[in-house]
Amino acid sequence: YCRAFIVMHCRESPKVAARLRNLGVEYRQFLLQWWMTCFAHILPTPLASRAWDVLVVRGLEGLFQVTLGVMNALSKQLMILTWEDIMQQMTHLDEHLALIDMDKVLSYGLKAEVNAADVAIIVDTPLPDIPEGQEDVWLVGKEVPAALGLRVQLRSDLESQGHGTVTQVDSNGQGTVVVTWDNGEEHSCRAGLKEEFWLHPLSQAKQELT
């Protein structure tokens, strides 16, 4: 579920998500703490209870939406702090409550596009078993299915964007995906449209989203 949340965060806040990845921030180090206590560990009861209302009504989608709202409230800090300061803030959020306006957290979060079906796909889809050094043999949409959360790179004959994460897959079978690159940019890429395949999947060792 941490992996699924990262995909949603890349979709909603690509530049913040890119910075956290480039710094080596591991989401699970704070997400599990937030989720296992339903935010009670990081928010005082009057604020946490408002999150609980959302969780009761919306379930898993609500959990992700509240989390996205909290991440958005912290976004300015996440763009300037060091790795050490980010981890301190995220694991001791109760010491930084001045940054949390619950009205804004819920207003942003409840507008975020979170679909339980997408989460299930990410959780249930196995990572491609591609050995290191053989990525160029495989094409996304051909040998490897285009899937949410898949880590990819452009073919060597295209202008490199580095590595990225598939954050949207077209639902009408047209053979395109949206990739959020690790530089914070987003592009639509062909994965079968007009028999064009632009993407290689990264090796299994590089597929992990933290």
What's the average model confidence in pLDDT over 178-200? Answer: 92
**What are residue 201's DSSP bridge partners?**
152
What's the average model confidence in pLDDT over 148-162? Answer: 91
Whether 18 has a pLDDT exceeding 90, the answer reads yes
pLDDT score, position 131: 78
Whether 176 has a pLDDT exceeding 90, the answer reads yes
**What are residue 144's DSSP bridge partners?**
140
Whether 92 has a pLDDT exceeding 80, the answer reads yes
Residue 205 pLDDT class (50, 70, 90 cuts): confident
pTM passes above 0.85: yes
Distance CA 164, CA 62 (A): 26
Q: What percent of the chain has a predicted confidence (pLDDT) above 70?
A: 98
Residue 114 pLDDT class (50, 70, 90 cuts): very high
Contact call for residues 202 and 135 (beta carbons, < 8 A): yes
Whether 197 has a pLDDT exceeding 90, the answer reads yes
132: left (phi over 0), alpha (psi -120 to 50) or beta: beta
pLDDT score, position 53: 94
What's the average model confidence in pLDDT over 202-206? Answer: 81
Which contacts of 36-45 are long-range, i.e. CB under 8 A and separated by 24 or more positions?
A: 39/66, 39/70, 41/94, 42/93, 42/94, 43/93, 43/94, 43/97, 43/100, 44/94, 44/97
- Residue 95, token pair as written in the block: 């010491």
Q: Per-residue pLDDT tens for 117-140?
A: 999 989 898 888 887 777 788 899
Distance CA 147, CA 33 (A): 28
Q: Per-residue pLDDT tens for 102-113?
A: 999 999 999 998
